[in-house]
Chains A and B, each alone.
Chain A
Amino acid sequence: PSSGRCEALRMLLADQGQSWKEEVVTKEAWQQGSLKASCLYGQLPKFQDGDLTLYQSNAILRHLGRSLGLYGKDQREAALVDMVNDGVEDHRKRCGHLIHHNYEEGKAQYVQELPGHLKPFETLLAQNQGGQAFIVGDQISFADYNLLDLLLAHQVLVPGCLDTFRLLSAYVARLSARPKLKAFLASPEHVNRPIFGGRKI
């Protein structure tokens, strides 16, 4: 019951007018062990698309990107979308390590280094139609949802962290205003899900 590594794909599905079922796994249920043992890498999320069962949040995002046309307009853009998503993932791992393993000791340094980790995304926007379109090209991709989720989470974790990034700030505002996405972001399900499981931020 958290946003964690699923909110990006929830935002993608909501914004694309898709519906889905949630099977919430409580901490107690997880610790019982049999679901964990059945998961390929012993981790969640687990995702079902009909009879296809997937693990790994980025594999799920790419699957949805591929099947819903959210993977760039050609092979070249697809490569750039991958490059962006991998950068988002690298930062998710840093953030996750901080939150779950090193919060007290590590937060000051994390905040200090954060602008350097956000800057590549500002740069990418600046190089793409002055930041008025998407992170790659002129159609939304799964990387946009992943980046948006990362940025929204950071606005809570480190308030004001986007103040020096004009294009990223505008990008977050613009994407969050997309009608279906806006409705999802205002929904009780989203609002009441903690950003990080296991830790109150």
Chain B
Amino acid sequence: MPGAAGATLNLLSPTCRTQLGDWAHSWGGAGRDEGVEQNSKYKTFGRLLASCCAWLLRRDPDRGPPSSGSSSCLSVFPVPPYTIVYFPARGRCEALRMLLADQGQSWKEEVVTKEAWQQGSLKASCLYGQLPKFQDGDLTLYQSNAILRHLGRSLGLYGKDQREAALVDMVNDGVEDHRKRCGHLIHHNYEEGKAQYVQELPGHLKPFETLLAQNQGGQAFIVGDQISFADYNLLDLLLAHQVLVPGCLDTFRLLSAYVARLSARPKLKAFLASPEHVNRPIFGGRKI
């Protein structure tokens, strides 16, 4: 499984990958002392680097499976257990990507194009015929909220006790209800339904402003004083709505501050500025 190496390679442009290949060749060559004066430390380092580059490239998904007879692999990169299988969109995965990024986790992306999906065999293999599909080691999960809860449970992002866990669930279910409304608008009813959607939006955002007001004056998280999976889901919903309905948070002082504060968390900020995130359309199949 390519794991971190694959994820790393996915972040490199084809030009970079070609350069890596060149470097691997030249360092390996320098290590063999082909007319270049090198002391033994550089030769060893060169071979080490060459092996790493070669190993990386052998795990490049675009280059196909590792060739036989590959040299011994130095497992310098831990293989992340997480794989996200989804369309090239933020959609129902950006919340969990933000969670993973903010928690310092790495993961692999398997992007499913519209053509690949329409071919049909992946869809037939999915429990409910839908993406995302998520892998944590040998555990395969469907349903974006089940994935969020699984990560919440395993990474300690589910409230501090049973009471908070129940409140976290209550918040996440409210976010999910609104995702369904939003999805219905975008994919089924955009032209006719947008005006009414915009009119009703404040009423649907208000519960979250209320929850913040009731929790340390909105200075902490949506529930309690530690971040939960519901925060990432809510944040993603709010960020998407700032694009879909610009200014929609202007009347919600605490939600506006909440979005700014969470988005400024260092790892999350880096993720939100990353090309991968920026270049992913918010909604698949529709340009907004």
Give the docked Cα–Cα distance between A56 and B143 (Å): 18
B60 → chain A, closest Cβ, in Å? 31
- Chain A neighbourhood of B149, CB < 8 A: 78-79, 82
Instruction: Please count the residue pairs between chain A and chain B whose beta carbons lie under 8 angstroms apart in the complex.
Output: 75
Question: Would A59 and B170 count as touching, CB distance under 8 A?
Answer: yes
Looking at chain A, what size class is its interface with the partner chain?
Answer: 20 to 34
- How many angstroms from the CA of A56 to the CA of B163 in the assembled complex? 15
CB-based contact B127/A58 at 8 Å: no
Give 1 or 0 for each of A170-199: 1 = CB within 8 Å of chain B CB: 000000000000000000000000000000
Is A87's CB under 8 angstroms from B128's CB? yes
Q: Give the interface residue-count category, chain B.
A: 20 to 34
Q: Is A201 an interface residue (CB 8 A)?
A: no
Q: Which of B132-171 contact A (CB under 8 A)?
A: 139, 141-143, 145-146, 149-150, 153-154, 162-163, 165-167, 169-170
Q: Is A62 an interface residue (CB 8 A)?
A: yes
Q: Report whether A58 and B169 are in contact in the complex, using a CB–CB cutoff of 8 Å.
A: yes
The 8 Å CB contact of B166, one of A63, A79, A82, A124, is A63
Contact across chains for A54 and B170 when beta carbons are under 8 A apart:
yes
Residue of B nearest to A76 (CB): B139
Q: Are B150 and A59 in contact (CB under 8 A)?
A: no
Interface centre among A86, A87, A124, by most chain B C-beta atoms within 10 angstroms, is: A86
> Of B150, B163, B165, B203, which one neighbours A82 at CB under 8 angstroms?
B150
Flag whether B63 is at the interface (Cβ < 8 A): no
Nearest B residue to A55 via CB reads B170
In residues 166-222 of chain B, which contact A (Cβ within 8 Å)? Answer: 166-167, 169-170, 172-174, 177, 180, 203, 207, 210-211
Bound-complex Cα distance A40 to B172 (A): 13
The 8 A CB mask of A70-111 against B (1 = contact, 0 = none) is 000001101110110111001001000000000000000000
Does A19 make an interface contact (CB < 8 A)?
no
- In Å, the complex CA distance between A63 and B168 comes to 10
Which residues from A are CB-within-8-Å of B145? 82, 86
Which 4 A-B pairs rank lowest in CB-CB distance, beginning with the nearest?
A82-B146, A59-B169, A86-B143, A56-B173
